[in-house]
Amino acid sequence: MKIQKLTKSFYLNKNVIDVSKKLLGKVLTTQIDNTITSGIIIEVEAYAGINDQASHAYNHKRTQRTEVMYEIGGISYVYLCYGMYYLFNVITNGKNIPHAVLIRSLEPLDGIDIMEDRRKIKGKKYNLTNGPGKLSIALGIDKSFNRKSLLSDKIWIQDNGIKFNKKDILSSPRIGVDYAKEDAKLPYRFYVNYNKWVSKL
DNA sequence: TCAGCGATTAACT
DNA sequence: GTTAATCGCTGAA
């Protein structure tokens, strides 16, 4: 089992659905003040750029917030949702192609006690990182993590050699995107079957 | 168990 | 002025 940081080429993949599935089982890690926290990616959603009505970059929309999505793959997109929670996305594909993958849940790996402190909960087993807002709090991700390289020493994604059986990768419509009309039905959410950390069925 | 609802704020129109 | 890729609490069943 070799541990290895994902390289630039992983993020340049032109198929955001493919990258999304490949991120399942990878390990998202942050290092803040020499403190490491990490978790195995269990659930993701793909946001397929200018033709996807659920994407912030739908129809070439460019604003202060979405500008980072047009950067070259391999950086983070973190934004405030509902005025309270930071959601973490991975930007993929080439420059000016605003594809993104929302990380929706993790299975905690390193620094679990630190994550419980940040979340202000103890021993509530499956409630630590089973949702996009929760995992950001647990890993200490806030808006200072926006537009950061995922090859940095502050936040990165690594391959610990964890593999899932292909038939245990399920898909469903994305969560909380009813505003996207017919695109709200697209099966762009991917998660690991039978895993206790999936945010909801 | 679970549907309903309020919290809270930056960025959008 | 309105909205949002969510969460945790509440009260009813």
Q: What digits encode the pLDDT tens for the residues A137-153?
A: 999 999 999 999 999 99
Mean pLDDT of all residues in A151-169 = 97
- For residue A1, what pLDDT is reported? 60
Q: Which of residues 4-43 of A touch strand C (CB under 7 A)?
A: none
Structural tokens at position A130: 């089973």
Instruction: Evaluate whether A119 touches A85 at the Cβ level (below 8 Å).
Output: no
pTM: 0.96
Residue A32 has pLDDT above 70, yes or no: yes
Residue A15 has pLDDT above 80, yes or no: yes
The token pair at A174 is 């994305």
What is the 3-class SS of A103-151, one letter each residue? EEEEEECCCHHHHHHHHCCCCCHHHCCCCHHHHHHHHCCCHHHCCCECE
A64 strand B contact, CB < 7 Å = yes
**Which nucleotide is at minimal CA–C1' distance from A79?**
B10
Within 10 angstroms of residue A201's Cβ, the number of other Cβ atoms is: 6
**Which bases of chain B come closer than 7 Å to a protein CB?**
7-13
| Average pLDDT value for chain A | 96
A159 neighbors A6 (Cβ within 8 angstroms): yes
H helix intervals, chain A: 8-11, 16-23, 112-119, 132-139
Does residue A2 carry a pLDDT above 90?
no
Could you report the per-residue pLDDT of A45-82, keeping only the tens digit for each?
A: 999 999 999 999 999 999 999 999 999 999 999 999 99
Strand C atom within 7 Å of A138 CB? no
Q: How confident is the model at residue A123 (pLDDT cuts 50, 70, 90)?
A: confident
Strand C: list positions under 7 Å from protein Cβ: 3-8
Decide if pLDDT at A127 tops 70: yes
